[in-house]
Structure 1
Amino acid sequence: MVAGMLNDGPLKDGDTRDLIKRTALVLFARDGLEGVSIRDIVRAAGQKNTGSVHYYFASKEALARELAGEIAQIIDTHRHRRIDAMEAAGGPRAVRDVLDILIRLPHEEPGDLGFDTDMAAFVDMMMAKHPDLIFEGIHVELGLATRRCLAHLRHMLPALPSPLMEQRFRFAILYAFSILSSRRSVGQRPDLWPPRWTEEVARQNLLDTLEGLLRQPASPETMAALAPAPKRPSRKR
């Protein structure tokens, strides 16, 4: 499979590192982190030294973090391009225009940035099984394109106290990640999922629910919980 990428001649250091990384991506996407050993990666990459993963990446987890970070850069570039096009056309015209940018991966648009199905499967697997690593690698709160999207949303959504709005944004991102990562489970066990789960109607329905989550006014209970607790009067000595 991936081992076929090896050339007849000796590989340079950078080539070996990239080959191990690409091999790990394919294996992680298919079998998950727990289902892939360092020995599996070395064997599939056609390497003889079982210490090569530790030499180049220190650990399997560090390799996964690096993959997540590089994929995040591709996603961020893709989002910047879509935001630029939207703004050049006079948008955004609706909240869902911005939300669609946040939930759509590059491979869903033809020929975009070399983002392939293995990368998409890796992201799905990480979101479903290792959200801590994907958030660490992607830094979802720091991505410049994500910040541009959130800035548009702040101007378009009803006013909420800043702590609540920031929390809503995180809720929305976690919710969308959870729904989108379920695509992997649908492919493995379609009998366990409702019909039309992977069709366009599901994407549009997801956008509807995300917008509803963000537009919902804060309840009196939430506002009361947000208010600082009254200070106790100091005792006189």
Structure 2
Amino acid sequence: MSTSRAPERRSSPRGVENRERILDAAERLMAERGIDGPSLNEINTAAGQRNTAALHYHFGRRDGLVRAILQRHGRPLQERHDALYAELARTGRLRDVRGLVEVIVLPVAEYLALGPSQRAGIRVWAATLDQPELAIEEIQTLVDPALTRVSRTLLEIMAHDMPRDLAVERLVSMVRGALYILADRAALEDAPAARRPVLALPLVAANLVDMVSAALVAPVGEPARRLL
């Protein structure tokens, strides 16, 4: 996804309302069908916009629209990431692996419990990180400072027992995997005919923290060491 931004617009109250309607429609359709699934015209129509240029006016191209969705949901998530990180600092647990993983996982799990828009936002986040052309540098621009600090600390801890390149690969894989699991739960929450058994969300989150924490510090096996 390109990092280009839509031009800043000063909107009237009606313009702000139209912008929010476009975001509502875009996040719903992109959550259901992927970032590239719905056409921009389809999103514009779903938002009730008679002016076919409305979406372009507010967001520019598709990447500007996606970035606006990420920003919409990124702000409340960042507040919760910051709060959990501050609590780790207050209690002297800034190098506690489980506590650091909780900073990553718990805000997302809590957020998707808030409603359909929040669940759609999580699914769009997951779809964005699933783009092969998205460079690590671009991912870093989408991540809030607390998560950056957590990631750096986890890498420092992991690098004591494995090469840094392997630690990076393991951390990225596990964080992405956790996000996909929570995005799948978000889809399940909104599926009217879902028949899969569903654990209580707090239990899902706690179990996911256990899984990620264990995987990050698991010993490097002999086959991997030989390949290294």
Q: TM-score, normalised by structure 2?
A: 0.72
Q: Give the 3 Å change call, closer, same or farther, for CA 171–45 of structure 1 in structure 2.
A: closer
The CA RMSD measured in Å over matched residues stands at 3.6
Identity %: 21
Q: Does 1:123 align with 2:122?
A: yes
Name which structure has the greater RCO, CA cutoff 8 Å, separation 6+: 2
State the match for 1:104 in structure 2.
106
State the match for 1:159 in structure 2.
161
1:199-214 to 2 correspondence within 5 Å? 199-214=201-216
Alignment: residue pair count: 211
Report how far residue 54 of structure 1 moved. Answer: 2.0
Q: Give the 3 Å change call, closer, same or farther, for CA 186–198 of structure 1 in structure 2.
A: farther
Contact between 2:29 and 2:43, CA under 8 Å: does it hold in 1? Answer: yes
Q: TM-score, normalised by structure 1?
A: 0.70
State the match for 1:47 in structure 2.
49
State the match for 1:190 in structure 2.
194
Report how far residue 116 of structure 1 moved. Answer: 5.8
Aligned letter for 1:72? G
State the match for 2:27 in structure 1.
25
Residue-by-residue CA offset, 1:1-49 (whole Å, 9 max, x unaligned)? xxxxxxxxx7465554344334433454466546644344334444321
Aligned letter for 1:204? A
Q: Give the 3 Å change call, closer, same or farther, for CA 218–107 of structure 1 in structure 2.
A: closer
Aligned pair partner of 1:175 in 177, 180, 185: 177
* Structure 2 unpaired stretches of 5+: 1-11
Aligned letter for 1:95? V
Contact between 1:57 and 1:63, CA under 8 Å: does it hold in 2? Answer: yes
Report how far residue 85 of structure 1 moved. Answer: 2.1
Contact between 2:31 and 2:120, CA under 8 Å: does it hold in 1? Answer: yes
Q: Does 1:38 align with 2:40?
A: yes
Distance 2:33 2:104 in 1: 26
Contact between 2:21 and 2:47, CA under 8 Å: does it hold in 1? Answer: yes
Report how far residue 67 of structure 1 moved. Answer: 1.5
Q: Give the 3 Å change call, closer, same or farther, for CA 154–24 of structure 1 in structure 2.
A: closer
Higher alpha-carbon Rg:
1
More displaced stretch, 159-168 vs 72-81? 72-81
* Structure 1 unpaired stretches of 5+: 1-9, 110-114, 227-237
